[in-house]
Amino acid sequence: MKIVCDSTVLISLSSIGKLNLLRDIFKKDQIIIPKAVWKEVVEEGGKKKGAQQVKSSKWIQVKEVEDVPLAKLLNTHLDKGESEAIVLALKYPDSLLIVDEKEARDVAQSLNLKFIGTLGVLLKAKQKGYIQSIKTELALLRNKGKFWIAEALYNEILKKAKED
């Protein structure tokens, strides 16, 4: 299976020192990012969170999108990284898209793509025993990663992780 990531999950997990969770959780799968995400995180990211971690992660593969017209069409409503991630996910029918922004998730849902977000990755990490406490990781995400989590979603994730 292909795991297609948008930039937010890479930056967010890097900000709390947990980028390797992607490799650990999806060890049997290929983790790919579109060129636009690489450009946003690594080339334009400079010294921001995630830039060096993504650049040095040899297990992340960068792919060019083939359906450029579709990416451009999606880019009228989404940012370039989200657009290209969705186009890549469409290319691989058995893929899992990791994207956080609501608009991109709405488009992914309308296209019948399987998707989760950064919080879904953390939930899988907890379920598979890679992290001890999702509450701790969510606190780090909120504080270090400046990741906004709606209170209802926060409580839902804690409940699913059996930490409520």
pLDDT along the chain (164 residues), means of 10: 96 94 94 96 85 92 95 94 97 95 96 96 95 94 88 92 88
DSSP secondary structure letter of residue 66: S
- pLDDT at res. 90: 96
- pLDDT at res. 47: 78
CATH superfamily, region 2-119: 5'-nuclease (3.40.50.1010)
The edge-to-edge listing of strands for the beta sheet with 30-34 is: 60-63, 30-34, 2-5, 96-98, 114-116
- pLDDT at res. 46: 79
- pLDDT at res. 164: 79
The strand pair at 60-63 and 96-98 is best described as unpaired
How crowded is the C-beta side of 31, counted as CA atoms within 13 Å? 23
Q: Where are the domains of the chain?
A: 2-119
- Residues forming beta bridges with residue 61, ordered by sequence position: 32
- Burial category of 18 from C-beta neighbours within 10 Å (exposed 0-12, middle 13-18, buried 19 and up): buried
- pLDDT at res. 128: 94
DSSP secondary structure string for all residues of 31-44: EEEEHHHHIIIIIT
